[in-house]
Structure 1
Amino acid sequence: MQKDKFTLWALSWPIFIELFLQFLLGAVDTLMVSRLSDDAVAVVGFSNQLFNALTTLFATVAGGAGILIAQKLGSDREEEARTVSIISLKVTALIGAVLSVILIIVPGPIARVLQMPEELVPLARVYISIVGGGMVLTAVMSTLSTAIRNTGNTKGPMYTAVGMNIIHIVMNYGFIFGAFGFPQWGLTGVAISTLVSRLIATLVLLFIYVGTFQRQITVSDLRIFDRRLFKEIMQIGWPLGVNMGCWVFSQLAIFSFLAMLGTQVLAARTYMNTLESFCFLLGYSVALATQIQIAHLFGGGRTKEAYSAAYRALKIGMPLVMLNALVLLLAGKYLLSLFTSDPEILTIGVSLLWMNLLLQPGKMLNMALGDALNALGDTRFVMNISLISMWLIATGCSYLLGVSLGWGVVAIYACMITDEYFRGALSLIRWRGRKYLRSKEAEMERERLKESPACHALHPEEGLSFS
């Protein structure tokens, strides 16, 4: 395994391109759907929050496996890394298939349970059943991309994202405007476009994955299941999944609160979600690359390098997100006008752009240090602070201040900002404590001492002297 694949630059720039293209996919999706109606935009934004929430069910396995793959490769145990990837693929595919069936059968009741405005339910029923029906593709695509990326090959998922974006944009345009001989199917067409582009991306990633490890993966390998390795995956993965679930479900709850404030507020938040993605793309790509790098260094016992890598991510990422937030503030009103001409939505959006200046540095602090802790396997700590902060501060206070007291979307944003900084500060304290790094150093010292007596047993005369 080439070590230079795990440098920060080699890992981060393809991740950034991939994330940027995903952002572009979402932005173009929202822009094109806005040509249909603001209601359609609200349905897409709301439904995507639901899908993000459900992905945590298989992201638990995929995320844990990704970290473990990088750690195993760092300690030169490629066969175990290969087995971990196969196990995670099988398990996540099964979870995704179950979710697909549920979303196809009961999309309407799900929308109502989530407090979606009644006038949006008919559109939501169509969109959720089609896009949600492909949740198995999302599960497989996510797992393959994570496995490939954590072997140091960040270019493969990037090139796949390029192709997926091109296909999705072309099909979106065709279905919405009736171009290229496509039927003009509106939001239904957008859903079909999403499904088809993900299917193609999954097939491409599967082709790359087969040759990712030194020993090629075959169909017969799908019978492999190692309980010990699966236990290792879940030890890292289940707290990681709970942490991700906390964030996604809290965001889903917040979207429900926004829906209570009206469709225009919900649409404004959806537009802001798209614009905010621009702010932390570079920062998040650095944080994600650092997670892979730290996991690899940690697996190889290079603890000092792993410790300093987190601070390097902050040093690089923090200025980037702050600059991007400033650019967005200056150009935000124009960008929002590309999506909608509704004056109330524009007013809400512009007011949130100022708060975004405070939000993004907190996010960067959280991303860099949270991902660094996850890379070491310290996922339970990240989970615990997420359970406390996201539900009490981000969600609980958002409902109390934004809905109950009637302070609206600005109060909800203030709660989200507070949550980011609170978790970031606790993660910084934890990282400075070096708990897992010290444990690794102690483990390596014990291994060294075990080997030392063995050497003396083989050559006892080396310890003797004669006068």
Structure 2
Amino acid sequence: MQSEKKLTLWALAWPIFIEMFLQFLLGTADTLMVSHISDDAVAVVGISNQLFQAATILFMTVAAGAGVLIAQNLGAGKREEARIAAIIAVKVSLYISAGLSVLLFVFAEFVAKLLQIPDPLLPLAQSYISIVGGGTIFTAAMAALGSVIRNTGNTRGPMFIAIGMNVVHVLLGYVFIYGAFGFPQLGLTGAAVSTLVSRLAASIVLLRLFLYAFERKVEWRDFQLFDRSLFKDILRLGWPMGVNSASWFVTQLVIFSFVAMLGAKELAARTYMNTMESFCFLLGYSVAMAAQIQIAYLFGAGDNKEAYRSAFRALGLGLLIVIPGTLLLYAAGGNVLHLFTADAEIVALGVSLLAVNIILQPGKMLNMAINGALTAVGDTRFIMINGLLSMWLIATGLSYLFGIRLEWGLIGIYIGMIIDEYTRGVIVLIRWIKRAQLTRRKRVASESSDMSASQ
């Protein structure tokens, strides 16, 4: 772990921001290239990526739990426990993702139909899902290794690797999509191949960085290590995080299916919107992620007062960034959308969503900051229960009611999501203000001290 002096919110956040910002720019360039194939191709990529993100949750359950435990143990000076937790997380994540890779490769057509992708788009979807889904093991490696490395306090390493990966991805995308430099013109298949190759390269470099992430180098034989007690702690923290994140992504898939029911234009508009709205919260997300690492470290070190304050600093800074970002995006949105598509109807739909986005994004920032703080102190079960109830009853239920039943379309679906974000956000904010987990930690520590004294 980097020295405590370097564990400031800014020192942790700026590499995460640069990584996310460049990923956004390069991801936008990738979407732009795919949009030149067709709006149908964009729709396939959008809904398929929702599937891949949902699948990622299965192996990120372990990595996320381990990340919190690593930062807490390093804060408490338990460096070997942190190292073993990291090894376990990477190993288990790779096992799970290997099975998922096989399933997505073999059953790509079945999965495409399950997502209710319109029949004309099925051939494109089957090809894209089989190639990118078959490389899920590389996505898992990137996610697990990156999470572990960041939680040691090293946010710069994953930043540089992500930059390199995305540059390679865009360059290969240009070559394979358009058939540049004598290569065959593969269209959407070329986009999938470039994704697969760039993730493989990034996984190899991240693995090299991981081997030297701790004071004692991780040897290949160390992957045989397995501490059952430590693994139980990882799962105790991780499984509620996994359930909550999986629930969010699954509800997004369900909501995407509602959008698909509205038509191909609405699906394309929503996909473009997903790319554009990333600009609104990427800075805030970087701050929230950095705060989670910092709070977990402070909590492990027993500095509960500073841990409590860090959450509000992150929230305040995030809102100061997100709100102007949404306004800027709305002002420039129409011109930006014309870069992606010439369809006037899709552009009009996108602009209307950008207006609603001004209300949506501050609610997302509230959830990111306070959920991250509660996660850092181990209060993951509360987050899970709050998320399950709100995301299914409010986000999904109201999106269907407003968007489909009442025929309000995309705007109705967004209204359902807005109500969900603010409901969850207010509940977790009240939980953090009450300091339930921090108070419990003090009480447990006091009881332990009394027992030691009596012995």
Residues 374-398 of structure 1 deviation map (CA, whole Å, 9 limit, x = unaligned):
1111011110011111001111111
What's the offset of the Cα at 1:451? Answer: 4.7
Aligned-partner residue type, residue 133 of structure 2:
G
In structure 2, the residue corresponding to 1:206 is in which secondary structure?
helix
- Counterparts of 1:111 and 1:66, CA distance in 2: 33
Cα distance in 1 between the residues matched to 2:452 and 2:54: 48
Where in structure 2 are the equivalents of 1:169-318 lying within 5 Å?
169-318=170-319
> For residue 326 of structure 1, what is the aligned residue in structure 2?
327
Equivalence for 2:27: 26
Deviation at 1:179, TM superposition (A): 1.5
Task: State the percentage of identical aligned residues.
Answer: 59
Q: How big is the shift at 1:453?
A: 5.2
Distance in 2 between residues matched to 1:453 and 1:61, nearest whole Å: 37
Give the Cα separation in 1 of the matches to 2:453 and 2:62: 38
Output the CA distance in 2 between the equivalents of 1:12 and 1:247. 24
Q: Deviations for 1:343-398, whole angstroms, at most 9, x for unmatched residues?
A: 11001000011101000110111100011101111011110011111001111111
Shifted more, 165-174 versus 180-189: the winner is 180-189
SS of 1:180 mapped into structure 2: helix
Task: Return structure 1 stretches of 4+ with deviation > 6 angstroms.
Answer: none
* Partners of 1:372 and 1:58 in 2: CA distance: 22
**How far apart, in 2, do the equivalents of 1:281 and 1:385 lie?**
24
Task: Write the mapping of 1:64-463 to structure 2, written as runs, cut at 5 A.
Answer: 64-452=65-453
Opposite residue 181 of structure 1, the aligned amino acid is G
Which moved further from structure 2: 204-213 or 174-183?
174-183
- State the 1:405 CA deviation: 2.1
User: Contact 1:55–1:139 at 8 Å: present in 2 too?
Assistant: yes
For 1:445 and 1:221, the matched residues in 2 are separated by 36
Q: Distance in 2 between matches of 1:294 and 1:80?
A: 19
Q: Is the 8 A contact 2:179 2:185 kept in 1?
A: yes
Per-residue CA deviation, residues 280-319 of structure 1 (Å, 9 max, x unaligned), is 0110000000000001111111100000000000111101
Aligned counterpart, 1:57: 58
Q: Report the alpha carbon displacement of residue 22 of structure 1 after superposing the two structures with TM.
A: 2.1
Deviations 1:102-127 (CA, angstroms, capped at 9, x unpaired): 01101111111111111111000000
CA–CA distance in structure 2, aligned partners of residues 196 and 166 of structure 1? 12
Check whether the contact 2:177–2:189 (CA below 8 A) recurs between aligned residues: no
- CA distance, structure 2, for counterparts of residue 180 and residue 301 of structure 1: 58
Per the TM alignment, residue 246 of structure 1 is displaced from its structure 2 partner at its CA by 1.1
Paired with 2:376 and 2:166, the residues of 1 have a C-alpha distance of 29
How far apart are 1:19 and its partner, in Å?
1.2
User: Is contact 1:164-1:201 (8 Å) kept?
Assistant: yes
- What CA distance in whole angstroms lies between the structure 2 residues aligned with 1:136 and 1:278? 28
Cα displacement string for residues 146-190 of structure 1 (whole angstroms, at most 9, x for unaligned residues) = 000000000000000110011011111111222233221111111
Q: Which whole-Å deviations, capped at 9, do the CAs of 1:208-259 have from their partners, x for residues lacking one?
A: 0000000000110010001100000000000000110111111111110000
User: In structure 2, the residue corresponding to 1:214 is in which secondary structure?
Assistant: coil
Contact 1:301 1:444 in 2 (8 A): no
Aligned residues: 454
Shift of 1:450: 4.1
C-alpha distance in structure 2 between counterparts of 1:164 and 1:125, whole Å:
25
The answer on whether the counterparts of 1:4 and 1:10 sit within 8 Å (CA) in structure 2 is no
Query: Given residue 307 of structure 2, which amino acid in structure 1 is its aligned partner?
Result: A
In structure 2, how many angstroms separate the alpha carbons of the residues matched to 1:24 and 1:98?
Answer: 32
Distance 2:272 2:216 in 1: 45
Structure 1 distance, partners of 2:347, 2:124, is 24
Supply the AA of the counterpart residue of 2:81: E
Asked whether the 8 Å contact 1:101–1:133 carries over to 2, the reply is yes
Gaps of 5+ in 2: none
Q: How well do the aligned residues superpose, as a CA RMSD in angstroms?
A: 1.0
For residues 285 and 70 of structure 1, the distance between their equivalents in structure 2, rounded to whole angstroms, comes to 17
Higher-Rg structure is: 1
Q: Structure 1 CA distance, aligned partners of 2:299 and 2:132? A: 38
Partner of 2:28: helix, strand, or coil? helix
Q: Is the 8 A contact 1:5 1:153 kept in 2?
A: no
In the aligned structure 2, how far is the partner of 1:98 from the partner of 1:444? 41
Out of 178-187 and 349-358, give the one that drifted further.
Answer: 178-187
Q: Equivalents in 2 of 1:424, 1:209: separation in Å?
A: 34
Structure 2-normalised TM-score? Answer: 0.98
- CA distance, structure 2, for counterparts of residue 124 and residue 4 of structure 1: 49
Distance 2:383 2:444 in 1: 23
